Each structure stands twice: as structure tokens, then as C-alpha cells.
Amino acid sequence: MATHAVICRQVVKEFGSGETRVQALRGIDVDIEFGEMTLLVGPSGCGKTTLISIMAGLLEPTSGEVELLGEHLESMRGKRLVEFRGQNIGFVFQQYNLLPSLTAAENAAVPLLIRNVRRSEAVERAGEMLAAVGLGEKRKAMPSQLSGGQQQRVAIARALVNEPKLLVCDEPTAALDAKSGRTVMELIRRTAIGPGRAVIVVTHDSRVYDFGDRIVSMADGRVESDEAIDRGKAVAPH
């Protein structure tokens, strides 16, 4: 059994070549623990989104080693990697990316449908997840009939419907007001963290710090600090 959700060792990521080569990550060492919400913070362009994309198997590192849920990513390619991500990883983004022609329940069911779960079963399970995030009565609503906070909760239900072992969130509160942002973070904390499960949140929103267990600060493609958070006290990164 994996001892950590993610282990990165000397991870480097370069884009381009020659004079246009850009080194986005410069030897990252970091561990993501099960049972925790890890916040990844730092200025725009410091490599946060690149790092979570590598951790989640969406990008390949130029060099270094990444172990995801006990599997070495370099050993997985193509269809096997896609299936592994679909079974084990959920994604929540700043943009909700809901399909406008589908109901809330149908949107939340998409990951199950991709895995060839029978449609009726997929929509039923998605409806149960919508109820868990407080939107049970909105299961038949179209995205255009939902507020921004409600759409983000549908996106969270979609990310959680497979009960992923790793939930990756990229600026999940950036487009939300304070009340909706707090509701979203409470939902993520309540539904996505537990034994054998972990959450990574990229954020610029200091209000999110109340919900994290650890804060990893990045600058210029490197990890500058990795500290436990005294929950209940909003702390700013050094």
C-alpha cells in the first residue's frame, strides 16, 4: 500500500528548446500526505499549475521521479495512464466546465459514463453526490439555472463521484464570493479527505488557508517552504 499520495523527487519540467527553452520546474522535492489537504501557493508563473499537472499524470516531467498512489508514473503510458487517472483522481478547476446541454446530475455523472457505467446507475449515483454537496433539489436543473457557487458545487460532485483517492483543485474559489468560497472549501474538506485520500489545492486566496493542513510555498519553479498549518488561524506564506 502506498505510504504517500504523491512523491516527487528532483522533478524538472522544461518547455521549448534552444533559446526558447523555459524551465518551469527546477528540481522539485515534495510529498503529499494521505489524510491531508495540502495548499500550493506562490506568485503567478511560479510553476504551481505545472506541478499539479505532473502530480496528476497530465504532464510528463522532463526529468525526475513521480510516484502517484504507489505507482511510478514513468511506468504508465497511454490507455493505462488514462484509466488510472479516471479511477483514482478527481479535478476541480476555477472554470466549472459544465456541459450546458446536460442537467446537473448528468454533468456530475460524466466521469462514470466515461467508465461505461450504465447511464441510469451513473445518474443515480451522481444525484446522491449532488445531495451530499447540498444540491439534491437541483439535480434536474440546467447549468444556466444555477448560480456560480451552485455550478462549482456541481463540479465538485463531478470530481467526487468516483470517490477519488486524490482530488486536485486549481483555484477552486477564485470566481466565488466569500460565502460561496467558504461553502466550497467546507464541502471539499468534508467529502474528499480521509484515510487513503488526499487533496491538493492551488490557491491565491488567503481565505482558503483556514481549511488546509499543510502549505507548500513555491517561487521561480522551486519549493521555498513546506509547513504544517495551525488550522483555524489564517497564515500567510513566508
Percent with pLDDT over 90 in the chain: 60
Residue linked to cell 500526505: 33
Per-residue tens of pLDDT for the chain, all 238 residues: 678 999 999 999 999 988 889 999 999 999 999 999 999 999 988 999 999 999 999 999 999 999 999 999 888 888 888 889 888 999 988 788 899 999 999 999 999 998 889 999 999 999 999 998 889 999 999 999 999 889 988 998 999 898 899 999 998 888 778 888 888 888 888 888 888 999 999 998 888 998 999 999 999 999 999 999 876 555 444 4
Helix axes 119-132, 104-114, angle to 10 degrees: 120
Q: What is the pTM of this model?
A: 0.88
Instruction: Write out the DSSP string of 150-189.
Output: HHHHHHHHHHHTT--SEEEEESTTTTS-HHHHHHHHHHHH
Helix axes 178-192, 148-160, angle to 10 degrees: 10
Q: Which three cell numbers stand for residue 142?
A: 440546467
CATH number given to 6-228: 3.40.50.300
Instruction: Give the start-to-end residue ranges of the domains of the chain.
Output: 6-228
